[in-house]
Amino acid sequence: MKRKFYFVSLLFFILTMTGYQSLAQEDSKLNFPISNIEEIITQSGVILDREISSDGNGSLMISTKEPVTAELFDLDNIDFGNKRLTYKAQMRSDNLIATQDMRGISYIELIAEFPDGEELISRGPRVPISGTTEWRPAETILYLDKGTAPKRVKLNLIVEGEGTVWLDNVVLEAIPLRLNYLFWGHIVVWIILIIYIYDLFRKNRRLKRELETLS
């Protein structure tokens, strides 16, 4: 019985690690260093700041008194179906204040557009930057698990206030959702297997005690 248990456990361990490693290789990470203003979709009102930068290559600067939606990158040739997308960036602000019509905040925006016209939108960070800040990490996550892959994914920067905002070191990470499903699925299988084997051992010990009593 013990040999059978060890063999089954080893087999499950090998299958788990093999599947996990093979799927982990499908992860992708796209880096968008802000070093060339011509790569940015929105050209009006944006400036490449060579002096203030989190990575030393320059940053995107917006100085405004009105609401701004800056479209940064538009990705339409990548399969993002069944993925968890994480849009990360570094943000900084100077005297970003509220006005009568604006809240005095800035944040990043991740949009997935589907062939049927539907859009999924995610914004972050949970606490948008405001006032005067040093470089801070910003992140927002979108789960694309509706079955149909989006036709394009957009990375934007939103400013709702009067002041100056910088954005730098933009990253988009894509992780297959089935990676998480597989991992937790194997955890559940392991738990069930352990309970099953333990129950067999318990029944076997009880049967031995009953036979010893009869003897």
Q: Where are the domains of the chain?
A: 27-176
| pLDDT recorded at residue 200 | 78
Condensed to tens digits (0 to 9), the pLDDT of residues 47-63 reads: 999 999 999 999 999 99
User: Which CATH number applies to 27-176?
Assistant: 2.60.120.260
Condensed to tens digits (0 to 9), the pLDDT of residues 90-135 reads: 999 999 999 988 999 999 999 999 999 999 999 999 999 999 999 9
Token digits of residue 126: 């949970």
Closest to 112 (Cα-Cα) out of 138, 137, 87, 139 = 87
Mean pLDDT value across the chain = 86
Lowest pLDDT segment from 77-81, 158-162, 171-175: 77-81
| pLDDT recorded at residue 25 | 46
Give the global pTM.
0.72
Residue 215 or residue 31, greater confidence: 31
**What's the average model confidence in pLDDT over 24-40?**
85
For residue 191, pLDDT over 50 is answered with yes
Please tell me what DSSP assigns to residue 101.
Answer: S
| pLDDT recorded at residue 118 | 94
- Cα–Cα distance, 39 to 71 (Å, whole number): 11
- Assign 2 a pLDDT band (cuts: 50, 70, 90): very low
Beta strands in the chain (DSSP E): 28-32, 46-49, 59-64, 68-75, 83-97, 105-113, 119-129, 131-144, 152-160, 162-176
* Bond from prior residue into 128 cis (ω within 30 degrees of 0): no
| pLDDT recorded at residue 147 | 77
